[in-house]
Every structure is written in C-alpha cells, then in structure tokens.
Structure 1
Amino acid sequence: MKRLLPLLAPLWLVACEQQPAGEPVVRTELGEAPAAQPADADAAEAEAPEVPQPASACTALTFEDTAFTHCIADPERHTIRTALAPAGGQPFGSLAAFAETAEAGSIAFAMTGGAFGDDLRAVGYYVEDGERFSELDRADGEGNFYMKPNGVFFGTGDEWRAMASEAFFATIRDRPQFGTQSGPMLVTGGELHPDFEDNGPSRAVRSGVGVDRQGRAHFVIAEDEVSFGRIARLFRDELETPEALMLQSGNSALWDPASGRLDQGRAGPILVVEEKP
C-alpha cells in the first residue's frame, strides 16, 4: 500500500540568546531623555496567543480486527462538492495536485471518489457544480464498477444520498449539485450486496460512503486490504447507513489537512468536504 507518512505540522522554536550579567550599557544623546530601563523578562516578553488547530473530522476505527479511518461530513457544519480538474485543464490526477490548488484551512477532508478511465476522467455519472460532464452508465461490463447494483453518491445543499443506479434513473429528475457513480453498492435498503461473501478472497485498500438517518455522510477508508463483505458490514452494522456505496478499490486515498495526512495514488473524481463559513 502506497501511503505518505502524515506530514507533521512544524514546531517553531524561538531561540533567545542569554544576556551577559550586569547592567546594560545605555547611551543617550545630549538633549534626549534617558532610555527607559526594561522591565523584567517575564513581563517584557508577552506570550504569543495560541492559535487553535481545527479538529479533524476523521478518526481511527477498528472493525472485525481491521483498521479504518472514518470521516464524518455533517450537513450542519460541512458542504460537499466534486472536483476533477482545474477549469479548462487536465485532471488533477492525485490528491496532492488538488491540494496545491485548494485553501487547506477551508477543507475538512477530501477523498478519491468515483470510477475513472485511463485518461483519469470520470466513468459513469459525474456532476460538478451542477454541470453534468458524464451520463449515467447502466450498461453491463467487467470489474467492480459493473457489479450490479452499482450506484451514485449525490446531493444538493445539505441533502446527500447514496442510491443504486437503476433507482437513481427511475426517481431522480432534478440534476444535483454534485454526483459521482461507482460500484458496487455495499448496502442497499439495509441489505448487503447479494454477491458478497462474508470475507471473500478479493482484497484491496477500499473506501466507501454511506448516509445515516440523520443525514450525515460517513466516509471510510481501509488502512489495509479488506474484503467487500467486511467493509459492507461496517457500514450496515457499525455506522448504520441503510445505503452505502464503494468509492474506490485499490486507488483509495485521503487528504486530512487537520492531521497532516496526504495519501499518494492516482485519482479521478475527488469528493471534497469543506467547512461552512
């Protein structure tokens, strides 16, 4: 697993020279008032106020002896958007490239999210800032994306949902502000995907998203290779999200500015969770 070690925030040490013993030499020009003697060092040096560091929206979580990182987007505190490329440019291709263009202080976290092709552009449904760049893909094919049901994670304003693609096609009429298609669905209507084994042989560093009954979006990324069944049960049993979608399998990556974490790996669509002003 390719992973950058967390980037630790620098600790600035202020080095003060030790002053020689005795009274300091004070020179004055004729006609000038004598310079005031300094107060004692403790009073003279005001301590710089501490700048509070933003709390991370991500925490460590262990489920069935597997380590995960669990990040929560709360509609009362956060907004969600998609990002693929700078205006008129090529896809970012990595979270590190995206981070260079973002204002870290406004980012709660960002995660790779959605299928992409060799050109790093989205495969399947993709909407950014209300503009649809790619249509819903309902075809059959090979690979994780086509493990039916696959699904869409989408939202407008403070309402976010994960939904199977066929249900999305049949019921969603208004274009959302953001949307990304991936697959397979991990949980649908409280049930695990019918093709999953309890702990099958297919293992990868996987990530997913689900929305609980309070409207919070739960993002999860495994810290080691994990089966479909185990990450699906995490969403159903631990996080209690009635619908959950796998975002990535093998290219999962997270940027958490508060903790200094910035993962390596190729990225297509990126899900960006930002602090509300």
Structure 2
Amino acid sequence: MVALRSFLAGLALALTSATSAAAVECERMEHQGNRYTVCSVSPDTESLRLFLNDNDGNPLGSFENVQLKLRGLGRQLVFAMNAGMYHEDRSPVGHYLENGDQEMRVLSGASPGNFGLLPNGILCLRSGRADVIETRAYLARKPGCQHATQSGPMLVIDGEMHPRFLKTSTSRYIRNGVGTSDKGTRAVFVISDNAVTFYEFAELFRDKLKTPNALFLDGNVSRLYAPQLGRSDTGRRMGPIVGVSVPATN
C-alpha cells in the first residue's frame, strides 16, 4: 500500500512537471561567472497574467495562495515569480492593473530607491503579447494592457543598458527581472542564483538573452515557482505576482 501511494505521488509529480514543461521552459544558465535560472514564456500561446488579492480583497502573498485561487477556477499554476515592488501592506508601489482594473496609477517622477532610479518601466500584458515599456513611452502610447505592473529601474532600454549602471559597482544582491522580445511573443523571467550587480544582471538580458527591453522586478524578496526544476521558493510575503496557469489535470 505504501509502495502504491509512493508510485501515485511520483506519477502526479511527473504529470505536473510535464504540464509545466509544455507551458514554460525553465533552465539554469551561467553568464560571466554568475548563475541564473531563466524561464521563457510564449504569451501568444500561454495564459500569462498578474495576481495580487484573493476573492476577499486580501493580498495573496504566496505562490501557494495563488494556486488555491486558481484551483477554484479549474486551473493550476505552472510558473510564477514576484512581479514588482510593494509597500508593507503589500500594495503595489507603482502602476498596477489586473484584468483591466487599475489598483495603482502610473508614477513617472524620480523617487528614492531602485524604483525611482529613472528610467523605470512597466510590464504590459495584452492579448497574445507581453512588453516591457519604459514609463514615459507607456504614458505616450497608452497600449491598452489587460495586466500591468510598474517597477524599476529598467535594465535594458531599446537595446542599451541603463545609463546609471556602473561596471565597477560592488552592490550585489539576488535579483529578478523580465525581458521581452521586440514583437512581444517572448517573455523571459530571470532570477539570479547568486548575488549580482545591476550591471551584470542587465548584461545578461542584453548580451545573452537578446531582449531589447528588460525590467528589474525586485531584489531581496526575489522568489520563483518552477515545479519543473523542483523549485518553490518560500520566505517573505510578496505583493504582485506574475504567473502562468493551465487547465487543472484533476
């Protein structure tokens, strides 16, 4: 009986991993002596969206709670990452839009900390595409996003590294971010597996991943859910979360 239960548990894990792999491609990668976990999503074929609160308006805060919310919709989470800076009550610092409803307006001025290290930017999710857009360009274009989250600084802007990043910087943290392809059909989510500088992190997106625009999401609270790699980070409660879901298998 114990052996049967173990077999069924292993089978369930294998099926979840197979489903995850079909929807999101995650891999471990090295660049310039640093280690990263990189997950690529095709927004034109996958259900990529943002999550903030549960049905009662309380912050979800964890991948487990996102999974519970999705379960009620007949779906399951196959990839997720924290998706932008937030206040102590876990409300978004900058612009946040979910299912077309605005939780927080766009902040375009300079401010203390990494968020206000201009230019910053916005991850915009629309039907069939995902785009990282510099904040002033976002305000000018009014792209009509279904989901959007603002963070900063930008890592790469139209193929160029953020002008304030220094190669000689000694400020190293675990960091996570997202880059998008020119046509919006590829979104690449990255978390560093060792502490890196902004310069090194941006260099990965520009030179290795070849994403013309990339956005820093956060540092100390960086978390990843990637079951195909056996990874489900816990720790400090999160604010905005970005994830991919598929129809539930049971």
TM-score normalised to structure 2 length: 0.85
SS across alignment from 2:48? strand
> Separation in 2 of the partners of 1:136 and 1:194?
22
> Separation in 2 of the partners of 1:153 and 1:111?
13
Aligned residues: 232
- Residue 4 of structure 1 corresponds to none
> Separation in 2 of the partners of 1:199 and 1:130?
42
| Deviations, residues 42-90 of structure 1 (Å, cap 9, x unaligned) | xxxxxx9x97533262110111111110001113431211100102331
Going from structure 1 to structure 2, the CA distance change for 1:225 and 1:259 (only over 3 Å counts) comes to: same
| Deviations, residues 208-228 of structure 1 (Å, cap 9, x unaligned) | 101123520000001111100
> Separation in 2 of the partners of 1:94 and 1:205?
18
Q: Is the 8 A contact 1:204 1:226 kept in 2?
A: yes
> Separation in 2 of the partners of 1:123 and 1:82?
15
- Residue 47 of structure 2 corresponds to 79
- Residue 232 of structure 2 corresponds to 262
Match of 1:195, as an amino acid?
R
Unpaired runs of 5+ residues, structure 1, are: 1-11, 16-47
- Residue 9 of structure 1 corresponds to none
| Correspondence for 2:157 among 161, 173, 188 | 188
Unpaired runs of 5+ residues, structure 2, are: 6-10
> Separation in 2 of the partners of 1:164 and 1:229?
18
Q: 1:4-43 alignment to 2 at 5 Å?
A: 13-14=3-4
Are residues 1:147 and 2:117 paired?
yes
Are residues 1:197 and 2:174 paired?
no
| Correspondence for 1:68 among 29, 33, 36 | 36
1:276 Cα deviation after fit: 7.5
Match of 1:157, as an amino acid?
S
Q: 1:20-169 alignment to 2 at 5 Å?
A: 52=15, 53-54=18-19, 55=21, 57-103=25-71, 106-169=76-139
1:192 Cα deviation after fit: 0.4
Going from structure 1 to structure 2, the CA distance change for 1:51 and 1:138 (only over 3 Å counts) comes to: closer
TM-score normalised to structure 1 length: 0.77
Match of 1:59, as an amino acid?
E
Going from structure 1 to structure 2, the CA distance change for 1:84 and 1:225 (only over 3 Å counts) comes to: same
Query: Could you say which structure has the higher helix fraction?
Result: 2
Runs of 4+ in 1 over 4 A off after TM superposition: none
1:258 Cα deviation after fit: 2.9
Match of 1:237, as an amino acid?
D
1:202 Cα deviation after fit: 1.5
Query: Could you say which structure has the higher strand fraction?
Result: 2
Greater Rg, structure 1 or structure 2?
1
